[in-house]
Amino acid sequence: MIISGFSNFKIWGKDKNVVNNKTEYFPVTYGEPQQLYRSVVGLELSSSKVLNSPLEKSRDTGEMTTSQPFTLITGGHGFMLYYPVYERESNPQTIQERRQKFKGVVYTVYRIEDLITRIVNHTSVSDYSFFISDTDTISDNSLIFALDAETKKVNISTTIPFSIPLSCETLLPCQRKLMIADDSWFLTIIPEDNQYIIVIESMLLLLLGLGITTLITNYLWKTLSEKKSY
């Protein structure tokens, strides 16, 4: 780390204190852009349960994993994706082998506010109000990222920012599961008033079509029955 320009490199935890007396360390040693990630170099990932759990899972499974949303040191909320790295030319197959050959992880950090804003600016999704939650049933510990179609602003809270219409449970499939590596998030889109009209008109058209079909079927059946009676 001295060669990399970090002459005062120290391993520290989420409480900013130096971490000592561990048999295994998982500190951040590199990040780009450097002017942004210099502030987190040395952070011991295992000092945070939110960051350590997906790291250990990635190490033991050999698969990409994602963390739960958390508050970023640089500001805002984000999540991390981990991909495990093992010794060169090794192909560990068991948990024990993976732990023995484990060298570290390649990670990437996504700031959720920036991610949603970028998506909104490049699609027509900004025409709709929606929110993304980290659980399918909203509870006190659910973290919610919401976009208001009127203000075009991303809001973060632990409560639902919109009233969910009953039509979402009966007529419109408003919720979709989003797979982020090994984790599931849930997207709920709040339909506009004219969507209710479209759905109602579609339902009426369907019922009308079924009614006409029934009448035609009964007529044909009656006609065939009369012909058989001759």
- Give me the torsion for CA of 159, 162, 165, 170, rounded to 10°: -60
Backbone dihedral region for residue 76 (phi beyond 0: left; psi -120 to 50: alpha; all else: beta): left
Q: pTM above 0.85? A: no
Per-residue pLDDT of the chain (230 residues; tens, 9 = 90+): 544 556 677 888 877 777 777 778 888 888 777 777 777 888 888 888 888 999 999 999 999 999 988 888 778 888 889 999 999 888 899 999 999 999 999 988 888 888 877 777 776 666 777 888 877 765 555 667 887 777 777 777 777 777 777 767 655 577 788 888 888 888 887 776 555 444 444 455 555 555 555 665 665 566 555 544 44
CA atoms within 13 A on the CB side of 218: 6
**Contact criterion met (CB below 8 Å) for 147 and 121:** no
Burial of 188 (0-12, 13-18, 19+ CB in 10 A): buried
Domain range list for the chain: 48-115, 123-193
**Contact criterion met (CB below 8 Å) for 102 and 84:** yes
Question: Cβ atoms within 10 A of the Cβ of 65, count?
Answer: 23
